[in-house]
Amino acid sequence: MNYLEMKPESLMMTFGYKPKLSEGALKCPIFQTSTFVFNSAMEGKRFFEVAYGLSEASEGEELGLIYSRLNNPDLEILENRLCLWDKAEDCAIFESGMSAISTVMLEFLNPGDLLLYSRPVYGGTDHFINHVLKKFNIESIGFSPDDTKESIIEKIKQSGKAEKLSLIHIETPANPTNALIDIEMCAAIKKEFSTGEKQVFLSVDNTYMGPMWQHPLKHGADLVIYSATKYIGGHSDLIAGAVLGSKTLMNRVKGLRTFLGNMAAPFTGWMLMRSMETLKVRTEQQAKNASEIAEFLRNHHKISKVYYLGFIPEEGDDVQKEIYKKQYTSAGAMISFDIKGGEKAAFKFLDSLKLIKLAVSLGGTESLAEHPYTMTHADVPNDVKNKMFITENLIRLSVGVEYYEDIISDIKQALDLV
Ligand SMILES: *Cc1c(COP(=O)(O)O)cnc(C)c1O
């Protein structure tokens, strides 16, 4: 039996941790320490040479730890485990999803460069692109899920900065509308604008699906990004982020992380390891609940539209159907829906929920509901939001692990009051 041929869920409890290095402790302890003791000055010199890229580690060389901004067992073991789901070579854990995203953008974009991104994206990402990157003279072009490869290429060429395109950043399924973007199509666009001297990179924010059900690297992405605050953490009790990709690209990401100092703390790493043991059972239950709830919502007369991946095989257009079949192995547990009656009806519904809590964030064990137009996406211009179906009618629901009939009863009694 080959240990590494096992499914990731079988390895989440033990992979990468050696009890004998920690007094036999079954579980990886929290290494609450800022620094690590070298056995000799020579050893310290060698660790730094490798950590700062002055020299490559040789075959089989065991390198020790230096300082918790560079490496810490709670982060390293977690990173090795997280690699298993996406079959990535390397991973870096950050103190938030936003620090993962901003570090990737700052590493792969220089002043004067062009960024291509899909819309809608997470509100914080949208703000970073349109306000923070602008200060560094980095311009961006947004495209929408109904743009074709040809129309996107045309937009890039029309910008007059085609040779400056350096990064494509997409979010699929898009938050909060569940619109799908074709990763292979974006990889083809990336090739089209890459030259011998300059490679364009493709990063995919996979937060909405989590690491179980979509594997962007397989479809041609260079980097996968997560807000680990969501499904990976899964209990709404921590903030963290992750980036995964090849050793070569991750060396760059980890290099900038070292100097921005935005790695997660040991305690957060320890919490995430604990969370990942149940990632599969949690998310499978959440997805099962979501399918029941989506069906209930679809048949309710006060609701005009439900945005749920599970409906794409019957209701989606041909392009969305094709992407769904290619990229996803589950419909996930995020549902959005249009309630008839605008903000007034939407707020009455949200204020009437009892079991489901009115809060932003997603992917936790408890069900949460929010109003993207005035909350998570408040910062996106109204005309852009309306074009992307983020209207005043839209409610976003993150489905938890509760008994599904209790969630449905709560939704039903709140709708009755609207
Ligand atoms: C929450 C979220 C982020 C930001 O993550 P934080 O951990 O809150 O910094 C980024 N992308 C998506 C899709 C998210 O849902």
What percent of the chain is predicted at pLDDT more than 70?
A: 100
The pLDDT of residue 86: 97
Rounded to whole angstroms, the Cα distance separating 332 from 19 reads 35
Q: Which CATH number is correct for 279-416, 3.90.1150.10, 3.30.450.20, 3.40.190.10, 3.40.50.1370? A: 3.90.1150.10
What percent of the chain is predicted at pLDDT more than 90?
A: 90
Of the ranges 30-39, 172-181, 200-209, 342-351, which one carries the lowest mean pLDDT score?
172-181
Residue 279 · residue 211 · CB < 8 Å: yes
For ligand 1, the distance from its centroid to the CA atom of residue 387, given in whole angstroms, is 22
3-state secondary structure of 98: helix
Model confidence at 3: pLDDT above 90:
no
Domain segments of the chain as ranges: 68-276, 279-416
Average pLDDT estimate for 168-197 = 95
Rounded to whole angstroms, the Cα distance separating 201 from 167 reads 5
User: Ligand 1 site: residues with CB under 6 angstroms?
Assistant: 96-98, 122, 124-125, 171, 175, 205, 207-208, 227, 229-230, 239, 241
- Residue 166 to residues 49, 122, 248, 250, 276, Cα–Cα distance (Å): 30, 21, 17, 17, 33
Q: Does domain 68-276 have CATH number 3.40.50.300?
A: no
For ligand 1, the distance from its centroid to the CA atom of residue 123, given in whole angstroms, is 9
Residue 227 · residue 207 · CB < 8 Å: yes
State both tokens at 43. 């050893």
The whole model's pTM is what? 0.96
3-state secondary structure of 118: strand
- pLDDT digits 0-9 by tens, 292-309: 999 999 999 999 999 999
The pLDDT of residue 335: 98
Q: Which atom of ligand 1 is nearest to the CA of 100?
A: 9
Model confidence at 63: pLDDT above 90:
no
Average pLDDT estimate for 91-101 = 98
- pLDDT digits 0-9 by tens, 187-226: 999 999 999 999 999 999 999 999 999 999 999 999 999 9
What does the chain come to in residues?
Answer: 418
- pLDDT range class, residue 123, cuts 50, 70, 90: confident
3-state secondary structure of 187: helix
The identity of residue 227, as a single letter, is S
